[in-house]
Amino acid sequence: MTAIFFALQRRRLILAFAVLLSLIGALAWQQMNRQEDPFFPYRYGQVLVEWPGADPAEIERLVLNPLEEELAQLEEVAEIRGTVRLGVAHLWIGLQQHIYDTDTAWDRIRNAVGDAEREFPPGPHAADVRDRSMDAHAVTLVVTGSDDLLALLDAARELRRDLFRLPEISSVDLVADPGEQLLITVDPAIALATGLDARSLAEQLAASNRTLAGGTLEIEGRSLVLDPGTEFSSLEELRNTAIRTSGGEVLSLSQVADVALTPAQPTTERMWADGQPAVGLGIVFPPNRVNAVAVGEAIRALVDAVRADYAPLEIREMFFQPRWVEERLSELGRSLLIGVIVVALVLLVFMGPRLGLLVASVLPLVTFSALAVFALGGGVLHQMAIAGMVIALGMLVDNAIVMVENLQWHLDRGRSRREACSASVRELAAPLAAATGTTLAAFAPLLLSSGDTADFTRGIPIMVMLTLTVSYFYALLVTPILGAAVLKPMPDRNQPLIESIGTAGRNRLPPPCSGARHDACTVTGQPFPEPVAVARLLSIHGSKSITGRHELPRGHAHRPLGADGQRPGRASART
């Protein structure tokens, strides 16, 4: 409490801090990291093992079962689903919902897969553990403009290297990669004449295609690097490779076989864009670290800069999530603005213009200040965070309403502004803390829960609790300062609409007395009206006093009221 009173004595510092924090929040609304949905931990992944030509029953017995037995022993693993097809085993793995250190969990899974591989027979390929299967492509680009899939693949690979110039990009995946295979077709007649078969031809090509270090040669103090030229750098070099026949004759490969680079067979996946063959690039953004809208604009700028280098091929956008992020957050921002306006109108209607405007002015201060704290703490703006701000709108004004009304009550009773501020803060600090604490406690289970659903909705309790906490401190520090500057004593102020409705029956004037002017008037039936109503009655009828016939409980005293509606002095008690 002492710290609060110390802060109230430095009004300019408190107001400057509140305005500065609000400006930071307004700037954060435009510049902070943003995405459409919250990020999920990597709790789901896959393990793929290829065994070309193997029977599904054999793969299940020799590959799938050892994998499942090793993985089932890990406490981090909650679910395993295995599928076997011709030549491949596939496992889908789900981690426990309470796990957030997923990197450590997947390291243990890799170790378990390695242990299972020791039991594999010869033939299966190395297991492929994919722990980033949940990554979604934020932008998908396609390269079109040719029926040659290999030309499209080369262009897509080059574009992929260009995209990595942007540091904000996490990864770029090839979508509908046609693959490559080197097809060497030997004419049976030529093979018979030369005595070559597929095995001998493959052995000679393998011996000619080696990556060897040539070393260096020192000549008269000069060092020369030797290139042995033992690997193929182009199809033309491969076609000109010398092949020795069974009869000892040396021929070029092109004389005995046709050499071609073709898409891989059998076909696994293909993509078409507007009816044309295409190869795509899926761009993944790092989670919770970038402004998706800004990165999307940077990608578009880069693609426009290099588009001419790929002509006559075309680069198109097939999917562009930053556009939907901007539209979604803008829609929620408009909802937040509409909510602020509606709350402000309700305050004006039910509290009157002066009190209503004062409380309404706290709305943007608290909202933007809470957003500033959220951004400075590393928060990411997404639809759940904005939804939490919208939900908190109706609750963040409660503390300010109570504080403003109490300030006005003290001012109406003749206290100075400083006294009214001190008294209001002293009286309301603890009750408002209790009221705010109970509301925060209601959202605590949402904040502390774990799992996929909790990860998706956690932005709501974070923003609600943060906004309510900021509103409490602003109610104790900022609202009294603003109220002392704006409010003024109004003992006879007009009642707001809702208050006038509630007190209409209580302040109804009694029926007039007979006659134009009287020295006294008698009111029977109900207890005496309020002093203000008595004064109005005296002014209407010109009476100097009013006598009321009513019964008081035993032990209570009664004093007559004068023409001013006040008790002039002591009177004898009648019971």
Domain segments of the chain as ranges:
2-31+352-497, 44-130, 181-262, 509-575
Instruction: Give the CB-side neighbour count of residue 172, counting CA atoms within 13 A.
Output: 21
Instruction: Give the CB-side neighbour count of residue 16, counting CA atoms within 13 A.
Output: 5
Q: What is the pLDDT of residue 509?
A: 46
Topology of the domain covering 44-130: Alpha-Beta Plaits (3.30.70)
Strand 171-175 versus strand 314-320 pairing type: unpaired
Q: What is the pLDDT along the chain (575 residues), one digit of tens a residue?
A: 565 555 566 778 888 899 999 999 999 988 888 888 888 889 999 999 998 888 889 999 999 999 999 999 999 999 999 999 888 999 999 999 899 999 999 999 999 999 999 989 988 999 999 988 788 888 999 999 888 888 999 999 999 999 999 988 888 998 988 888 888 888 788 777 777 777 878 777 777 766 556 566 677 767 766 666 556 667 777 788 878 887 777 778 888 888 888 888 777 788 999 889 999 999 999 887 888 899 999 999 999 999 999 989 999 999 998 998 888 888 888 888 898 899 889 988 888 888 888 898 888 999 999 999 999 988 888 889 988 988 888 888 889 999 999 888 888 888 888 888 888 888 888 999 999 999 999 999 989 888 888 888 899 999 999 999 999 999 988 888 888 888 888 765 555 555 555 555 545 545 444 444 444 444 444 444 444 444 444 444 444 454 544 444 555 555 554 544 454 544 433 33
Strand 545-549 versus strand 520-524 pairing type: parallel
Q: What is the pLDDT of residue 93?
A: 93
Q: What is the pLDDT of residue 2?
A: 61
The answer to whether 464 and 391 are in contact (CB under 8 A) is yes
Q: What is the pLDDT of residue 395?
A: 87
Q: What is the pLDDT of residue 531?
A: 47
Residue 570 burial (CB count, 10 A):
8
Q: Tell me the sheet residues that pair with 272.
A: 277
Q: What is the pLDDT of residue 540?
A: 43
CATH class of 181-262: alpha beta
Residue 29 burial (CB count, 10 A):
19
DSSP string computed for 442-505 = HHHHHHH--SHHHHHHTHHHHHHHHHHHHHHHHHHHHHHHHHHHH----TTPPPPHHHHHHTTT
Cis peptide before 266 (omega within 30 of 0): yes
Q: What whole-number distance in Å separates Cα of residue 154 and Cα of residue 445?
A: 53
pTM of structure = 0.70
The answer to whether 218 and 212 are in contact (CB under 8 A) is no
Q: What is the pLDDT of residue 239?
A: 81
CATH superfamily of 2-31+352-497: Multidrug efflux transporter AcrB transmembrane domain (1.20.1640.10)
Q: What whole-number distance in Å separates Cα of residue 521 and Cα of residue 532?
A: 16
